[in-house]
Amino acid sequence: MPRPVLLFSGQWTDLPLEDLTQKASEWGYQGLELCCGGDHLEVQRAVSEPDYCQQKLDLLTRYDLTAPVVSSHRVSQAVGDVIDRRHRAILPDYVWGDGNPDEVPQRAAEEMMATARTAQKLGASILGGFTGSPLWSYVNGYPAPAPATVAAGFAEAARRWHPILDVCRECGLKFACEVHPGQLAFDLYSAEMLLDALDGREELGFLLDPSHLHWQGIDPAEFVRRFPDRIVHVHIKDTVLQLNGRNGLLGSYLPYGDPRRGWDFRAPGHGGIDWESFIRALNAAGYDGALAVEWKDSGMDRLYGAEEACKFVKRLDFEPAPPRDDQAFRNS
């Protein structure tokens, strides 16, 4: 049984959900990863309007789609971050409020709990998002943080996230924390630290998007092999390295799509990720969750690309071997 191929709705919140649903269905997707944004998922309405979730489900069902994953990357970012003016643009007004940096994280945490309850109503088993990070400015910065400073940052983040994870447990959800620059966990060893900081509690898993590891020099398949039981959601997005001696991996403040960047996102199969070894690592780890296309490519039409990507993922996701038995003729 191949894994369901989803479309991450975050890049499409400019379209009404019904439009996106129709397109995704035509393109061959089996479901959506519903993101908070536009009319795709409005948490406060979902909480307060009795039929809200059912209507969303009905809509998806009409197009034969499922929604096993719900995501809220923007609000979750504010839970653990040092808040600054950038956050205003990504938060609902009622979370931002007066923008007091000491209070925004708490409001963001409450919104995440409400999102978890909404995800449960939608029948999802995974809640995706970020953690934010009080430590990001120290990564490769100067002065290097003392170990105690790093530890304190993780402890503070744990304090903020435990209550949300408690709600996830109640709701039967895993929180899929994306391994991503700007977050506490952005590579293999920082992911270990995050698990430790949260006592390895069961509700915590990782959302793995190979595109964020590739340009750092990390092999996504090694990440899977290190945490075979913690991968609870997967994004499919590609990255291209275009180093030429003049540009670099830190990106020079240049936006995606600027040809001077040292790396950029690409439609799956159009970059440098070794998808073969990645899917085999997922197979070996027994991962049976969804594969969600997060479509982002500054050089390709998104309508054209989203359809192509769906086909790409289905081709990629070959049938793994059944549990090993002795083979009759092993060595010729």
Q: Which of residues 14-53 bind a second copy (CB under 8 A)?
A: 14, 35, 37-38
d(CA 66, CA 310): 15
Q: Reply yes or no: is the peptide bond before residue 143 cis, omega within 30 of 0.
A: yes
The correct pick among 28, 92, 163, 182 for binding a second copy (CB under 8 A) is 182
d(CA 148, CA 244): 38
The correct pick among 1, 89, 98, 102 for binding a second copy (CB under 8 A) is 89
Binding letters toward a second copy, positions 271-290, x by CB under 8 A: -----xx--x--xx------
The correct pick among 47, 57, 82, 316 for binding a second copy (CB under 8 A) is 82
SS3 27: helix
Binding letters toward a second copy, positions 184-203, x by CB under 8 A: --xxxxx--x----------
User: Binding segment for a second copy among 24-32, 44-52, 164-172, 324-332 (CB under 8 A)?
Assistant: 324-332
User: Binding segment for a second copy among 46-54, 106-114, 169-177, 257-265 (CB under 8 A)?
Assistant: 257-265
- Determine, following the binding rule CB under 8 A, whether residue 99 of this chain makes contact with a second copy: no
Burial profile 226-248: b = 16 or more Cβ within 10 angstroms, e = fewer = ebeebbbbbbbbbbbeeeeeebe
d(CA 306, CA 304): 6
d(CA 238, CA 18): 27
322's tokens: 């059944």
d(CA 194, CA 158): 8
Q: Which of residues 126-165 bind a second copy (CB under 8 A)?
A: 130, 135-147, 149-150
- Determine, following the binding rule CB under 8 A, whether residue 219 of this chain makes contact with a second copy: yes
Q: How far is the CB of 61 from a second copy (least distance, A)?
A: 25
